[in-house]
Structure 1
Amino acid sequence: MTETRFAEIIKKDFPLLATYTPVLARVHGAGHPELAEVRDLFAEMNKKVEQDGVDQVDLTEEFNKLREITSDYQVPSDGCETYEATYQMLAKADQAYHE
């Protein structure tokens, strides 16, 4: 993990993701029930980062689950701009975490 890059992503993108993931689950959840899982996994990740700090946090399991349930962050054809932005931020965080 490149701590500096991942720390920057946490600072910049995690607040947006904390806003976007519940909205997506509410707006698109009927057609995409996996979004409830995305919301819950992100909330768990955000909590871990706050508790453990960037340099100590282990998010391997959560990122593995996110890749699985999102089909490697593939936005469905009926996904909106927020849907796309959310998956892009999650993919970027995943990449930075694993560098």
Structure 2
Amino acid sequence: MLKLFLILALFFQDAAVSITSPQSGQTLRGQIEIQGRMDVQDFASAELAFTFDASASDPAASWFPIQTYSQPAADSAIAIWDTTAVTDGDYALRLRVFLQ
């Protein structure tokens, strides 16, 4: 079983950028629909990634892309994460948005 911790790595704090599902601390299994939003002015691109370091306090932690985006999304399914491809443990998700 996977235990999930969410991290929103933003260059600004804005409610327009968020992962709304799954919730932090939730146990996951199988194909997981990730829902969120990244609907900001001057959107250039975004990246959804995960790390094995659930604390994600180490700045050198390795992040593995789940999906990249060239268009913003608002309140929708932004990715399907196949958790069967990773071992059981604690993970963190990160949604980064880059501006023009």
TM, length-normalised to structure 2: 0.28
Greater strand proportion: 2
TM, length-normalised to structure 1: 0.29
